Amino acid sequence: MDYLIQVIGSGIIQGLVYGLIAVSLVLIYKSSGVFNFAVGEFCTAGAVFFFILQSLGLPLWVVIPGFLLMAAVFGGLIEKLIIDRLIGRDPMAITLVTIGISSILVGLLLFFFGANPEIVELPLPDLTLEIGSALFISSQVWNGIIAALAMIALLLFYKFSTMGILMRATADSQVKSIVLGINARRILTITWGISAVVAALSGLAVANGSAVSYDMGIVGLAALPVVLLGGLESIPGAIIAGIIIGLVETTSNFYFGPWLGLTGFQAISPYILLLVVLLIRPEGLFGQELIERV
Verify binding: residue 222, other proteins, rule CB under 8 A: yes
Nearest approach in angstroms of CB 244 to other proteins is 16
The residues near 68 (Cβ < 8 Å, ≥ 6 apart) are 197, 200, 201
Q: Exposed, middle or buried, 18 (CB in 10 Å: 0-12/13-18/19+)? A: buried
Verify binding: residue 266, other proteins, rule CB under 8 A: yes
Of 45 and 194, which CB lies nearer to other proteins in the complex structure?
45
**Cβ-defined contacts of 98-104 (< 8 Å, 24+):** 98/34, 98/35, 98/36, 98/37, 98/38, 99/37, 99/38, 101/37, 101/38, 101/41, 102/37, 102/38, 102/40, 102/41, 102/217
Of 157 and 254, which CB lies nearer to other proteins in the complex structure?
254
Residue of 209, 271, 278, 283 interacting with other proteins (CB under 8 A):
209
Verify binding: residue 214, other proteins, rule CB under 8 A: yes
Residue of 27, 154, 199, 206 interacting with other proteins (CB under 8 A):
206
Of 119 and 180, which CB lies nearer to other proteins in the complex structure?
119
Of 214 and 286, which CB lies nearer to other proteins in the complex structure?
214
Stretch that binds other proteins, among 41-49, 52-60, 181-189, 262-270 (CB under 8 A): 262-270
Verify binding: residue 145, other proteins, rule CB under 8 A: no
Q: What interhelical angle do 235-251 and 265-280 show, nearest 10?
A: 140
The residues near 138 (Cβ < 8 Å, ≥ 6 apart) are 124, 125, 126, 127, 128
Verify binding: residue 224, other proteins, rule CB under 8 A: no
Q: Which residues bind other proteins (CB under 8 A)?
A: 2-3, 6-7, 10, 13-14, 17, 106, 110, 115-117, 119, 128, 133-137, 139-140, 143, 206, 209-211, 213-216, 218-219, 222, 249-250, 253-254, 257, 263-264, 266-267
